[in-house]
Amino acid sequence: MIPWQLIDSAPVPGSDRELRLYRRGGEFSIRVAGCELMNSRMHGSEEALAEHACERFAGPGAPRVLLGGLGMGYTAMAALRMLGPDARLVVAELVPKVVAWNRNQLASLAGNPLADPRVTVREADVCQVIMEEKRAWDAILLDVDNGPDGLTSRENDRLYGVTGLTAAFCALRPGGLLAVWSGAAAPAFTRRLRQTGFSVDEVTVRARGVRGGRHIIWLARRAADKH
| DSSP states along 92-153 | E-S-HHHHHHHHTTTTTTTT-GGGSTTEEEE-S-HHHHHHH-SS-EEEEEE--TTSSS-SS-
**Over 50: is that where the pLDDT of 227 sits?**
no
Written as one string, the DSSP assignment of 115-129 is GSTTEEEE-S-HHHH
- Looking at the predicted structure, is the pLDDT value of residue 14 above 90? no
42-221 falls under which CATH superfamily? Vaccinia Virus protein VP39 (3.40.50.150)
Mean pLDDT of 50-59: 82
Q: 34 or 115: whose pLDDT is higher? A: 115
Q: Report the pLDDT value the prediction gives residue 17, as an integer from 0 to 100.
A: 86
- For residue 25, the tally of other CB atoms under 10 A from its CB is 9
Alpha carbons 99 and 95: distance in angstroms, whole number:
7
pLDDT class for 16, splitting at 50, 70, 90? confident
Alpha helices (H) along the chain: 44-56, 74-82, 96-103, 126-132, 157-160, 162-171, 187-196
pLDDT tens-place string over residues 118-155: 999 999 999 999 999 999 999 999 998 778 875 444 55
Q: How many CB atoms lie within 10 A of CB 80?
A: 21
**Beta-strand pair 35-39/27-32:** antiparallel
User: Mean pLDDT of all residues in the chain?
Assistant: 91
The full set of domain ranges for the chain reads 42-221
Q: What's the burial of 15, exposed, middle or buried (CB within 10 Å: 0-12/13-18/19+)?
A: buried
* CA–CA gap between residue 111 and residue 77 (Å, rounded): 7
Least confident of 55-64, 107-116, 174-183, 214-223: 55-64
Neighbouring CB atoms inside 10 A of 117's CB total 7
Percent of the chain with pLDDT over 90: 77
Q: What is the spatial order of strands in the sheet that 88-92 belongs to?
A: 119-122, 88-92, 64-68, 137-142, 172-182, 214-221, 199-206
In this prediction the pTM is 0.93
As a whole number, mean pLDDT of residues 37-62 equals 87
- Binned at pLDDT 50, 70 and 90, residue 226 comes out as low
Model pLDDT for residues 155-192, shown as the tens digit of each residue: 567 899 999 999 999 999 999 999 999 988 999 999 99
φ and ψ of 122, to 5 deg: -115, 115
